[in-house]
């Protein structure tokens, strides 16, 4: 079987890419291993994430499905008085801010809607599991072997461009040598434990800040926080994130740990859950933070979680993966029409563009934990507008980044200059900034390191 | 405005806003305001707002850090450097 574009993974990244490709007149093949609907975490969107759906003409459908409309995110810190609110905003063509809303979604339902929509717009869906990538003699990726779900037979699907949208499975990066190495991210030592609860107390004060559907974040100690994300009128997704060491030290079952944390993490969280009634299993994801170097190359582009995930605290995951799905479409079209065919990395520009955007998020997240006072100063008074831009996911170069707020954070994080330099040569490109927090891991980031992947470096876990 | 004057102005502000009834002698130039919890983070942000409006300066986020705001002496040094 042959196709111009093969998409591995039919999550929101793959589905968005397929729909934007359809707009360019390209009909891709999507390979998805699971049968939808299926459970998935990652439910709250930013303003820019919502904009992707609006750009796709899906706003009406989102309202029709009654997904909660998020007006902003409320954050409760150490003292209850110390809460702050960041409204969801958009920017018009003159870059004036306007008030907006975005959505929170039950992923089983949302992902199915997206994938069905991609198919109705022309994508072909194949139920199967991508195995080995097909490599051409010049080392470029020319498709994938796919184990078909119905027949259990392996079939080759050849492609001009393969988009890896496999999420945390990081399918291509785990296949050794096609992408650059996969590194640990700065939040790799964290663990997330989450479920869904009913009969909660929601805000309802008649303002945007007290809207019943808002996402709420709570934290007490550094790196120890919780989320409260309404999924419909009754059900709320609630998660706890903390250092793995803290979880292990407690010696509790996952469920006991979760229930105790709902009680103890923050008074504002326990107030919202007077009686704990779970309507979903308790799920766990440890070590979710990583970064793949060289995630674009001859015949392939990795999208969203398939190349980088930092941390979920400000809900940037869906935004990044769907936006990358949007950005990639004209790039793929140009390539199919002959652009950059002879380049060592035909998608180098796209890669740099994406990476620089996510770097903005990493700087924002790190500043939040490392320099809470200056962060709050920015949100409250100094750079309120720029902060709403970052919270809304407007993180890319054409969105007036880096903003003065971000430059100030970089000064604090002592990251000035360094990053620019690191972009200049291929080897140094995108040094994971996690290395700055884990100097003991530096060996794996050296250019000629004998250790190729973090998995190998860590040994059996 | 010199350093002692700045210290005096900030001291008066903090005493009035956060330590009403406290003996002024208890708040010295080197009393740690943040690391001891006299001021929580919201209070410190209000102090920053006060500094900005009272002294006509604008603090950059990288200047709004504990080291610059933890004592009256540090605050006065910060304000002096901004006015220079
Ligand atoms: C604890 C936690 C909380 C989060 N909270 C939020 C949040 O509130 N908001 C937010 O926006 N994001 C959040 N995220 C991030 C969010 O989950 C992801 O960023 C998002 O799901 C990425 O979408 P994707 O399409 O790239 O990948 P996915 O949604 O993971 O989809 C990948 C798909 O690829 C398929 N696949 C994988 N390998 C193969 C293969 N070999 N062959 C065929 N198919 C394959 C999988 O079955 C899957 O359906 C959170 C993440 C974590 C860990």
Give the E-state strand segments of A185-315 in sequence order.
Answer: 190-197, 215-219, 225-230, 236-243, 283-286, 290-292, 296-297, 300-302, 308-309
Q: Which of A100-114, A363-377, A388-402 has the lowest mean pLDDT?
A: A363-377
Same domain, residue pair A200 and A330? no
Residues A95-137 have pLDDT tens digits of: 999 999 999 999 999 999 999 999 999 999 999 999 999 999 9
Q: Give domain B3-83's CATH superfamily.
A: ACP-like (1.10.1200.10)
Same domain, residue pair A117 and A229? no
For A97, phi then psi, to 5°, come to -75, 140
- Find the mean pLDDT for residues A322-326: 98
Going by C-beta distance under 8 Å and a sequence separation of 6 or more, which residues neighbour residue A179?
A172, A173, A292, A293, A294, A295, A297, A300, A302, A307
Q: Which segments of A227-293 does DSSP mark as H helices, in order?
A: 244-250, 254-264, 267-272
Q: Do A82 and B42 touch (CB under 8 A)?
A: yes
pLDDT of amino acid A188: 81
Same domain, residue pair A39 and A129? yes
What is the average pLDDT value for chain A, to the nearest integer? 90
CB B18 within 8 A of CB B43: yes
How would residue A440 be classed by pLDDT, with cut points 50, 70 and 90? low
CB A257 within 8 A of CB A209: no
- Find the mean pLDDT for residues A70-85: 83
Residue A268 pLDDT greater than 90, yes or no: yes
**Which residue range forms the structural domain that includes residue A180?**
1-67+104-185+291-346
Put residue A25 in one of left, alpha, beta given phi > 0 → left and psi -120 to 50 → alpha.
left
ipTM of the shown complex: 0.78
Same domain, residue pair A179 and A279? no
Same domain, residue pair A273 and A382? no
Same domain, residue pair A171 and A312? yes
Same domain, residue pair A303 and A154? yes
pLDDT of amino acid A427: 41
Same domain, residue pair A61 and A169? yes
Same domain, residue pair A225 and A210? yes
Residue A56 pLDDT greater than 70, yes or no: yes
In a domain, A437, yes or no: no
Same domain, residue pair A155 and A201? no
Question: How many domains would you assign to chain A?
Answer: 3
Report the CATH number at residue A300.
Answer: 3.50.50.60
Single pTM value for the model: 0.91
Which residues have C-beta atoms less than 6 Å from ligand 1?
A: A 8-14, 31-34, 40-45, 129-130, 165-169, 171, 192, 239, 285, 288, 304-306, 312, 315, 317-319, 321
Residue B66 pLDDT greater than 90, yes or no: no
Nearest CA to ligand 1 atom 37: A166
Number of Cβ atoms within 10 Å of the Cβ of A22: 19
CB A420 within 8 A of CB A412: no
What is the DSSP-derived secondary structure letter of residue A173?
G
CB A66 within 8 A of CB A72: no
CB A180 within 8 A of CB A293: yes
Report chain A residues whose CB lies below 8 A from the CB of B52: 381
3-state secondary structure of A65: coil
In a domain, A73, yes or no: no
pLDDT of amino acid A454: 54
pLDDT of amino acid A449: 61
């Amino acid at each position: 079987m042959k196709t111009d574009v093969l998409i591995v993974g039919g999550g929101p990244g793959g589905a968005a890419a397929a729909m934007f490709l359809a707009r360019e007149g390209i009909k891709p093949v999507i390979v998805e291993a699971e049968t939808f609907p299926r459970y998935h975490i990652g439910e709250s969107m930013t303003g820019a994430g919502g904009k992707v759906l609006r750009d796709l003409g899906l706003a009406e459908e989102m309202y029709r499905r009654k997904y909660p409309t998020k007006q902003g995110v409320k954050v409760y810190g150490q003292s209850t008085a110390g809460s702050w609110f960041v409204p969801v905003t958009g920017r018009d063509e003159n870059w004036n801010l306007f008030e907006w809303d975005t959505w929170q979604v039950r992923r089983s339902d949302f992902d199915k809607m997206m994938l069905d929509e991609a198919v109705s717009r022309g994508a072909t869906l194949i139920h199967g599991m991508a195995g080995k990538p097909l490599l051409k003699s010049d080392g470029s990726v020319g498709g994938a072997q796919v184990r078909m779900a119905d027949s259990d037979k392996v079939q080759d699907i050849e492609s001009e461009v393969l988009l890896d949208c496999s999420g945390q499975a990081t399918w291509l990066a785990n296949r050794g040598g096609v992408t650059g190495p996969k590194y640990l991210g700065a939040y790799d030592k964290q663990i997330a434990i989450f479920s869904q609860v009913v009969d909660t107390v929601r805000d309802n004060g008649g303002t945007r800040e007290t809207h019943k559907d808002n996402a709420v974040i709570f934290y007490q100690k550094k790196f120890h926080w919780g989320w409260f994300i309404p999924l419909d009128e009754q059900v709320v997704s609630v998660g706890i994130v903390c250092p793995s060491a803290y979880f292990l030290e407690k010696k509790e079952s996952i469920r006991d740990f979760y229930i105790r944390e709902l009680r103890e993490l923050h008074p504002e969280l326990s107030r919202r859950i007077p009686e704990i009634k779970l309507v979903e299993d308790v799920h766990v994801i440890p070590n979710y933070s990583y970064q793949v170097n060289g995630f674009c190359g001859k015949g392939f582009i990795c999208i969203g979680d398939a190349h980088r995930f930092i941390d979920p605290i400000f809900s940037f995951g869906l935004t990044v993966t769907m936006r990358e799905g949007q950005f990639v479409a004209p790039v793929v079209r140009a390539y199919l029409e002959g652009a950059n065919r002879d380049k060592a990395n035909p998608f180098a520009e796209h890669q740099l563009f994406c990476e620089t955007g996510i770097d903005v998020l990493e700087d924002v997240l790190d500043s939040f934990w490392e320099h809470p006072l200056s962060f709050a100063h920015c949100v409250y008074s100094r750079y309120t507008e720029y902060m709403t831009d970052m919270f809304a996911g407007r993180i890319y170069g054409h969105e007036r980044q880096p903003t003065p707020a971000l430059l100030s954070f970089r000064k604090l994080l002592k990251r000035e200059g360094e990053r620019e330099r690191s972009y200049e040569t291929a080897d140094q490109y995108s040094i994971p900034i996690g290395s700055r927090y884990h100097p003991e891991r530096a060996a794996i980031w050296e250019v000629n390191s004998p250790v190729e992947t973090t998995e190998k470096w860590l040994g059996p876990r | 405005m010199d350093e002692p004057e700045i210290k005096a102005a900030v001291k008066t502000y903090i005493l009035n806003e956060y330590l009403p009834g406290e003996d002024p002698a208890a708040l010295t130039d080197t009393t740690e305001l943040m690391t001891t919890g006299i001021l929580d983070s919201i209070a410190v942000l209000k102090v920053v707002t006060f500094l900005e409006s009272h002294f006509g300066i604008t603090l950059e986020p990288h200047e709004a850090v504990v080291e610059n705001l933890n004592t009256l002496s540090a605050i006065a040094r910060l304000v002096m450097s901004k006015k220079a």
